[in-house]
A and B are shown apart, each in its own frame.
Chain A
Amino acid sequence: MKSDTFWRHATLWPALVLFALLTILPLLKLLALSFHDVEWVNREAVWEWVGLANYARLPQDNLLRAGALNTLIFAVVAVALQMLIGFILALLTTRVVRGRVFYRTVFILPILVPGIIIGAIWKLMYSYDFGVLNSLLLWLGLAPQDWLGDPDLALLSVIIVDVWHWTPFCFLLLLAGLESLPDDIFEAAKIDGATRWQQLRHITLPLMLPTIAVTFVFRMILAFKVFDEIYLLTGGGPGTSTEVISFTIYRRFFTEDQTGYGAAMSIAVIAVIAAGIIAATRATAGKGAKA
């Protein structure tokens, strides 16, 4: 028995070592970098210890503040819409008998399209002069809109693209959850005279809560990391209207070559997201226990 336990632990070690090498060591390196400024002199990297100075700069960074706010708005609005639409589509699809494979394939198509193609498609659709959306508005006798160039519209335009792109992800997970619900409970509810709305409100939603929570957390994590859509559609502009955290880090770290400061920004963002995930997981676990 003792030998079994030993071997069970021993077989875990290779995976743990690999995990440490691939994840923890780069994070530690990033952490170390965040306490330094790096300058290149005669082809040599000169690391200057600056303590917490890079972290102290974070609250004063206007771009980071704008990025944090936009990321929050982007993540909450986009994910809420994706969850809602994904859930409605999943509910509708479970009831479809004929052609359900066709509908499911159509619904998941956007998730299969590479980001670069999505950027190109939507950039063309949003084009002020040549885009299909403005052509439609003009045909309806309405004024064309500057979808990506107007600071008041740009973030919404990017959110629409993200909703189009990622709703299938929510749809797939929620559909899997819906199809795994036991039929006998619904049959019993029907016999008791429960309406469709009552079934949804009192059976489907409570039973789906764990699936909804997992899908929501997955999507929120991905939404906080949004980069490609912003990079391709607006470059963070106009002004700071579509600036998001990952783009700010990219600028500071790579374009401006402020590696120490960029590392501090990355560590801070990782810490905030990790705290958010822990809080969300605990809240979900609490609700699950109550349910």
Chain B
Amino acid sequence: MAFFTRQTKPLRTGLAASALALCASLATAAEVPITIVINQSPWFPGFQAVVEKYEEDTGNTVNLDVNPFAGSLEKQRTAVRAGESPFDILIMNAGFFVEFYTGGFMQPLTGIDADFALSEDIFTFDDSVCWDATAKTITCDGDGQLVSVPVNPFLPLLHYRSDLYEEHGLEVPTTWDQLYENAKVMHNPPRMYGISQRGQRGAFDVTFDVFPYILSHGGGVIADQKGGDYTVTINSPETLAGMETYLKLANDVGHPSTAGQTQTNVIQNMATGRAGHIQGVPAPAQFDDPKQSAVVGKVDYAVVPGTEEHGPAPGLGHWLAGIPRNVSDENKQAALAFLTWFQTDEAQHAYAEAGSPPVSKAVMTSDMADEEPYRYMRALAASIPTAQLTFTIPEASQVLAVTELRLNQAIGGELELKEALNMAAEEIAKVLSDAGYDAPMLDPLQ
């Protein structure tokens, strides 16, 4: 018995200390624990780190439910359609957020706290944070209400090997033609590919990567969704020109397996020193970490090229955080507390320091941008005003299913480009007209 008593003394002391620590933590936690459903993206480690900082600073608890891209979307749909959502914050992608707005699933944030407002420093990404439920449109004007807070400015930047640019005396390209010439100089397969592009089909993969090409040639998928013109333009001569540019790079100076390349493959190619250029979303930590990269300090960033006529035009693939209506008032308050904190300068700085691009213009254009690890910031800040929303209709997932398949088939050579675009146009027109839109088509490409 004496032995038992002696041996358990440290244990009891430890338990008492833990209990005290727990009480202290409970005492400081002002909000109930919340759960965020999020996808596994290149920027996720930065978000995870900033969540940990929030927990340390406030004592509040945030659980992360991390999934692949499509898995996150499915969980979000199921959650908002249930009696009560298990998730208090949804991290919604630019391709799909409108279906959550249209379905009436998202809680206007001023409905939780009338004083809540988006910080003036935070980008609104073409008003995609606001929803007018009456007019069923994205707008922060009139009856538009704030329903989300941006969490990541996911848009493509040109990543290039600055050491090779210096070695060959190259200039940072602003047009696709210049990029082609620069890539040609570096192209030496299989040791080095001039450019590595993502061409595999997925939920919003190859389409996202060809947007800068087709938008900068004046093309697109649907003419003007926000303005109510649903003419299908994926088989316009301008879109064709954009795709021809993409294919010219892929075929002449690209990876031999462009149609099979995922985002991970593209990042790997750059990190292992096999790609001269990639078009990627900014997640600079992965190229500056010696454990993950063979090109530390050798990757620089620029606005994606464009054409002389239209300039650069990347597609927005940003992420928005929204609170579903079907969570308790207590949880809504706790979720809003996190979003309020997330907008602060301190949080945005910490977010950037953890390796993820911030959504604050003030941070993106601060002195921080002059520091080596944050050299992507200037390019990102310059890109955001040129970026365009890609889909603002709830049927985006069906349109994307068409574009992902047909564009991939064109890249892989399974279909001839014009045939692929004409087929895509017919199928998109059907999706739109079945959903009740007036969706005229252009003459087929010959």
Contacts and interface: CB of A to CB of B under 8 A. Distances in A.
Interface stretch (B120-128, B353-361, B397-405): B397-405
Nearest to A252: B401
Contacts of A240: 405, 409, 414
Given A43-B105, A146-B256, A148-B260, A239 B325 contact: no
Interface in B118-137: none
A45 interface: yes
Q: Is the interface of A mostly helix, strand, loop or mixed?
A: loop
A256 B401 contact: yes
B74 A41 contact: no
Contacts of B298: none
Contacts of B244: none
A130 B111 CA distance: 53
B326 A149 contact: no
A237 B201 CA distance: 7
A233 B401 CA distance: 19
Contact of A236 (B77, B201, B258): B201
B397 A151 contact: no
Nearest to A241: B414
Contact of A40 (B103, B199, B325, B326): B103
A43 B104 contact: yes
A149 B77 contact: no
A110 interface: no
B60 interface: no
Interface string B80-103: 110000000000000000010011
Interface residues of A, number: 31
B202 interface: yes
Interface string A41-79: 111010000000000000000010000000000000000
Nearest to B80: A43
A256 B77 CA distance: 11
A239 B103 contact: no
B73 interface: yes
Interface in B56-91: 70, 73-74, 77, 80-81
Nearest to B205: A235
Nearest to A66: B405
A257 B203 contact: no
B203 A255 contact: yes
A128 B257 contact: yes
B261 interface: yes
B80 A239 contact: no
Interface in B248-265: 255-262
Contact of A238 (B74, B104, B259): B259
A100 B222 CA distance: 65
Interface of B: 70, 73-74, 77, 80-81, 99, 102-105, 190, 199-203, 255-262, 268-269, 272, 274, 325-326, 397-398, 401, 405, 408-409, 411-415
Interface of A: 40-43, 45, 63, 128-130, 144, 146, 148-151, 154, 234-241, 251-252, 254-258
